[in-house]
Amino acid sequence: EVQVVQSGGGLVQPGGSLRLSCIASGFTFSSFWMSWVRQAPGRGLEWVANIKEDGSQKYYMDSVKGRFSISRDNSRNSVYLEMSSLRPEDTAIYYCARDGETWLGPPGYWGQGALVTVSS
């Protein structure tokens, strides 16, 4: 059974930093792209970033470029989202998800989500 379990999240002041983690199981982790998707309170879904199976390619939405960094550790079946220079508009539930075996593949398995609140 495919499982994606997230940790991290919480309250952080504007300009602060936070790290989200995600550990996956039930599949060959090193064969799949992974993504982060967020959802502001009461709003729709927004793609944040994704990373290739071997970590050699990473893509970001424009508003987080230079502030967020996606990474993975295939030996730990884990993917991370390092967030810095956080802004109130980054407040959202952040979901980790397993993509397909190519960069076209949609997120098919999602974590439970982690709430990030940026506020003073």
Partner 1 sequence: EIVLTQSPDFQSVTPKERVTITCRASQNIEDRLHWYQQKPDQSPKLLIKYASQSFSGVPSRFSGSGSGTTFTLTINSFEAEDAATYYCHQTGSLPRTYGQGTKVEIK
Contact 108, 32 (CB under 8 A): no
Q: What is the CA radius of gyration of the chain?
A: 13
Establish if 8 lies at the interface with partner 1 (CB under 8 A): no
Regarding 27 and contact with partner 1 (CB under 8 A), the answer is: no
The stretch near partner 1 (CB under 8 A) out of 19-27, 66-74, 80-88, 99-107 is: 99-107
> Distance between CA atoms of 42 and 30, rounded to whole angstroms?
34
Which of 56, 62, 75, 120 forms a contact with partner 1 (CB under 8 A)?
62
Residues with Cβ within 8 Å of 62's Cβ and at least 6 positions away in sequence, in order, are: none
Please identify which residue in 80, 111, 114, 116 interacts with partner 1, judged by CB under 8 A. 111
Q: Is 72 helix (H, G, I), strand (E, B) or coil?
A: strand
Q: Does 104 engage in binding with partner 1 (CB under 8 A)?
A: yes
Q: Contact residues for partner 1 (CB under 8 A)?
A: 37, 44-47, 50, 59, 61-62, 95, 103-108, 110-113
